[in-house]
Amino acid sequence: MAERRILEVAIKNWCFTLNNYTEAEYKDIRDYECGYLIVGEERGAEQGTPHLQGYIQLSKKMRLSTLKKKFNARAHYQIAKGSARDNYVYCTKEGRFFEKGVMQINGKAKIDLVSACKDIAEEMTNEDCLEKHGSGFVFHKRKIAEMAADLKADAIKMRRMAKCGELVLRPWQCEVLQKLEDQNDRQILFVMDPVGGNGKTTLACYMMTTMDAIRFCILLKNYANERNPNESDPDSKAKVDYIVERYLDA
């Protein structure tokens, strides 16, 4: 009854054993197009019979009769039990094996997370990443995005470190750093520059890179009106946006 059930049912995941295999048979097995394949080269414990112990995940479900015609006619087949990882361990236990394809784990594709994270960090589109890494990218997208963000942050910090190594601070920037070093943790130092372009942002990046400083941006609107509430000059009532940057040691 069990054998009849195996013959009638269409299955994607199969285990197989092929005794006294030939090199031609082994080559055909390795060349067979499928989703995933792991084949261990083994010898029997009692008589030393050479055999292949394999686990295959087909691209689509297949009955045993069809599998024998398309894959290998001599092999003994069983419906795979246990997890894909269990079958991998079993087929590789003697150390000599052949593997190809992408293992599906509980219906989810195993994915090279490191490669996917680097691709996203290097601005590869989601569409291109999905095409390259398959369905595993969908299942691990959040984890990949988080790891990619960390990689990008590290890359930015490394670039900043390189620039900081070449940076020659201006006298006023050195003075700011000294003031921050001398003041207590309840004091705040504001640096205002009515002209701009004198190195405030450069100093901020330097502090963020070398001192692990944290940046807070505060947007002040209608600053001119708040400063001169009784001023009748229309120019003073124009909306002016100021960004006050506050830097603290982390």
pLDDT tens column, 19-52: 999 999 999 999 999 999 999 999 988 888 999 9
Span 138-147, average pLDDT = 76
12 and 86: one domain?
yes
158 and 176: one domain?
no
Span 70-80, average pLDDT = 95
16 and 88: one domain?
yes
- Say how far apart CA 208 and CA 26 lie, in whole Å: 59
| pLDDT at residue 250, rounded to an integer | 37
10 and 71: one domain?
yes
127 and 91: one domain?
no
| Last-in-domain residue among 163, 184, 204 | 163
| pLDDT at residue 249, rounded to an integer | 41
Catalytic residue among 26, 32, 90, 223: 90
Domain span at residue 151 reads 113-163
What secondary structure letter does DSSP report for 191?
-
| pLDDT at residue 75, rounded to an integer | 96
- Say how far apart CA 240 and CA 250 lie, in whole Å: 30
Span 97-117, average pLDDT = 75
105 and 196: one domain?
no
Domains identified in the chain, total number: 3
| pLDDT at residue 106, rounded to an integer | 66
- pLDDT tens figures, 165-220: 777 888 888 888 888 888 888 888 888 877 778 888 888 878 877 777 776 665 55
| Encoded tokens for 171 | 């006298």
| pLDDT at residue 245, rounded to an integer | 41
Span 230-241, average pLDDT = 41
6 and 105: one domain?
yes
Question: Which of the residue ranges 42-51, 54-63, 143-152 has the most confident prediction, judged by mean pLDDT?
Answer: 54-63
Sign of CA dihedral 33, 38, 41, 47: negative
| Last-in-domain residue among 63, 78, 109 | 109
| pLDDT at residue 248, rounded to an integer | 42
142 and 209: one domain?
no
27 and 94: one domain?
yes
| Last-in-domain residue among 163, 186, 201 | 163
102 and 141: one domain?
no
- 206: annotated active-site residue: no
- pLDDT tens figures, 85-101: 889 999 999 999 999 98
120 and 101: one domain?
no
| pLDDT at residue 110, rounded to an integer | 58
Confidence of residue 1 (pLDDT cuts 50, 70, 90): very low
For the chain, what is the mean pLDDT?
A: 78
Provide, for the chain, the percentages of residues in helix, strand and coil under a 3-state DSSP scheme, each rounded to the nearest 5: 45, 25, 30
155 and 201: one domain?
no
- Say how far apart CA 13 and CA 60 lie, in whole Å: 9
Res 15 pLDDT > 90: yes
Res 64 pLDDT > 80: yes
Residue 153's nearest CA partner among 103, 229, 212, 219 is 212
Confidence of residue 111 (pLDDT cuts 50, 70, 90): low
What is the pTM for the complete model shown?
Answer: 0.44
